A and B are shown apart, each in its own frame.
Chain A
Amino acid sequence: MSDADETLDVAPTTFSPRAFRWQRRRASAADFWSRFRGDRLALLGLIVLLVFIVMAIAAPWISPKEGLSAVDSIDNPTWAPPGRGYPLGTDNLGRSVAAQFVWGSRVSLWVGLSATVLTIAIGAAVGVTAGFFGRWTDATLMRLTDWFLVIPFLPLAIVLASVLDRSLRNVVLVIAITSWPGTARLVRAQVLTVKQRLYVDRARALGANRAHVIRRHILPNVAPLILANLTLAVPISILTETTLAFLGLGDPTRASWGKTLEEAFNAGAISRNAWWYYVPAGAGIVMVVLAFTLVGRAIEEILDPRLREGGA
């Protein structure tokens, strides 16, 4: 509270409101970064993420796509342990495990990010609408949200993925449809708090239209929450994608970490002691998920004043 007062006091009156807003945003971004940098684990997570992102983007240059095709790998040795030519060995069909690892990171990151963005978009839309309009809109939407919250997440994803065609797009859709309700609740609660604050009423009394109030007053205040939620939701999306792929519900045409694990398991990699087949994909998942969690936790801690104060 006193923070807000101070910023208001020092606001130079000659500034245009927009320049003032930008100045404030830049200042808070710098503040954010300096706090973030103080968290070593979060920094480590960020670096791990960057490495994986670079790998996913550069996949075609790191490892040619032919490595994934059983037809193109027909002359390769099968079940070859890591060694020359095959940094992570080969699988039962002679395909390079390294190629699967590199290309698999694309699917994990892509699905993880896009499913989360879609989840948050649905959740935020529902939450903002419910919180802002209140009354029966709120009642209806929240009833629906509660119902969805009760439906078990993975079974719903499984059923949806079973009745839909198997494609990456549908996997993204399935994850978003099953995981939006939590976000919706969170966002709604935040919108209600923001709405309580005087200035929204004042803005409305001054004749601002709803779109303006939502854009100018509600969204900026809900955005930090959404951001923290986003980073923490990515791991869930990634793990769900992995599980769906492992259950054979992913996109059958694309190498993904979950699919690699499914194929490794079904090909008997465990009884053959072919650890190189199933360890990289699993380790990749763990690293990416852990990295997102570390970064997300740091963001949450920075943004949530309650946590900050509890830091005795």
Chain B
Amino acid sequence: MSLLELRDLHITYRSERGDVPAVRGVDLTIDPGETIGLAGESGCGKSTIAGAVLRLLPKETLIEGQVLLDGEDVYQMRPGELRAVRWTSAAIVFQGALHALNPVQRVGKQIAEAILLHSTQSKKAAQDRVGDLLERVGLPANRARSYPHQLSGGQRQRVLIALALACEPKLLIADEPTTALDVMVQAQVLELLAELQRDRGLGLLFITHDLSVLTSTCERLAVMYAGRIVEDGPSHDVFGTPEHPYSAALTRAFPTIGDHASRMRPSGLAGDPPNPANLPSGCPFHPRCDRAVDDCSVADIELRPLGIGRHAACIHIPTSGGDDGE
């Protein structure tokens, strides 16, 4: 059974200024031990998907489609069941390590809290385990007594990873775990994640705007644009021979790592990422696309199969007569 399965997931935020369709029909499957990369510009809906998996989005948010964790629909669970699967079936390494930790609580306590919540261990045992976890992510065990502001960015990121591992989840969702870090630390954190994934046979959903990070870590890649996956497939194929003009643009220019501007415009692509509250018609990429044709602004193009386990959503991909392979 898959660890995680998203079926035609649609997510619409409700705000006072109107609805924001942040995710518009995403299918995604992660099997045990598999690593999948999810890439796309800022605002394309990556974190929204992460939040939806553990049902963390604001409660007025409209969610259609299904989110299956270990085959069970997260949105059909009773509150008790939901709390029980949180952090045990899947855990999240949240984006923005600075704000994800409670500033007035020692980090050790924040990790121990998760352990105590989901097990019957004694406080003492939990504390020992916190030390082990911290050492596992390359921090001295006595760091447990630190407050978040006393740690560097890289150290905080490691704490968040340790925290995510606390209840031995089968699936780890890492939301831009390397974004705010400098190159050296970035490499270390990537190495750590890869190692953990190998050791424990974790399923890993790796979210980033930085394609180059994904190719070395992930078997499969999904590229998102404006709330939809526009191309997916084995990462070497997607990276080597991108079929969708947006993926191509992403691969063309490697972003400068750690450069803030490259976050907003990963490939030096002209124009701004679209505003999900006001998307362009047809293929939402058409205002920025260098291969756009007239039909692009009217036709609604779905993912089309492209060889084995590969899809892309572009008018230039030939439709293969009804074979809507999944």
Contacts and interface: CB of A to CB of B under 8 A. Distances in A.
CB–CB under 8 A between A and B in the complex? yes
Interface of A: 308, 311-312
Contact of B58 (A308, A311, A312): A312
Q: Which 6 A-B pairs have the closest CB atoms?
A: A311-B16, A312-B58, A312-B15, A312-B16, A308-B16, A312-B60
Contacts of A312: 15-16, 58, 60
A308 B17 CA distance: 10
Contacts of B60: 312
A312 B60 CA distance: 9
Contacts, number: 6
Contacts of B15: 312
A155 to B, nearest CB: 35
B48 to A, nearest CB: 15
Nearest to B60: A312
6 contacts: A308-B16, A311-B16, A312-B15, A312-B16, A312-B58, A312-B60
Interface residues of B, number: 4
A308 B15 CA distance: 11
Nearest to A2: B275
A312 B15 CA distance: 6
Contacts of A311: 16
Contacts of B16: 308, 311-312
A312 B58 CA distance: 9
Q: Chain A: interface secondary structure? A: loop
Interface of B: 15-16, 58, 60
A185 to B, nearest CB: 25
A285 B256 CA distance: 64
A308 B58 CA distance: 17
A229 B60 CA distance: 34
A205 B142 CA distance: 54
Contacts of A308: 16
A249 B58 CA distance: 54
A124 B15 CA distance: 36
A86 B58 CA distance: 59
Nearest to B275: A2
A132 to B, nearest CB: 32
A234 to B, nearest CB: 29
A312 B13 CA distance: 10
A308 B16 CA distance: 9
A153 B324 CA distance: 75
B278 to A, nearest CB: 11
Nearest to B14: A312
A71 B206 CA distance: 89
A302 to B, nearest CB: 13
A102 B60 CA distance: 50
B16 to A, nearest CB: 5
Nearest to A310: B16
A2 to B, nearest CB: 9
Nearest to B13: A312
A133 B58 CA distance: 45
Nearest to B15: A312
Nearest to A308: B16
A310 to B, nearest CB: 10
A300 to B, nearest CB: 17
B223 to A, nearest CB: 27
A31 to B, nearest CB: 14
Contacts of B58: 312
Nearest to B58: A312
A311 B15 CA distance: 8
A311 B58 CA distance: 13
A307 B58 CA distance: 18
